[in-house]
Amino acid sequence: MLIGTATGWRFWCVHETFLDGLMLVSPYYWPEPERNQGVSWPKRRFEARCYRDAAHWPPVPDCECGVYAFTTASEVLLKAEIHRRCAVWSDRSRQIGPIAVGRVTLRQVFPYQHAIMAPELRAATGIIDELWVLGDGSESAEAERMRSLLAARYGVPAVVGEPG
């Protein structure tokens, strides 16, 4: 069942490169394993595309393409923490980097339920509304630098800490 617009919650890995500066990168899908890079969100608005079938426009009910988001801030914080811990256990922590959480507006949304996951949303478009840079408190100057740069890049309010 397609619904028009919804609010969702996502998390990203924060990557920094010499050419691009700080950028949000989706944590789960790695379409270019040789570059070890996920799907980048270079701008505030992100249009989904399908890596399996370029002929259809995401999201399509019988495919996994689309912008994914959780329905609550508490769920996205839990998934971000699980992701961080799994990365450390699998020695991928160098690839993961800092994590940011965002409240997003989703357009052309399908509710999505994976057998073992909490209910999610899958959409054609995601627009970042607000960001939170997660940290452990020990790197406050670095977290503040990231907050400032992400706020400037995406043109949205950004906070160090967790959504209240």
Q: Can you give the pTM of this predicted structure?
A: 0.87
107 in Cβ contact with 5 (< 8 Å): yes
132 in Cβ contact with 102 (< 8 Å): yes
What is the model's pLDDT at position 73? 96
Tokens of 99: 């994590």
Write the CA distances from 95 to 14, 73, 132, 149, integer angstroms.
Answer: 10, 24, 20, 20
Over residues 114-154, the pLDDT tens digits come to 766 778 899 999 999 999 999 766 568 888 999 999 999 99
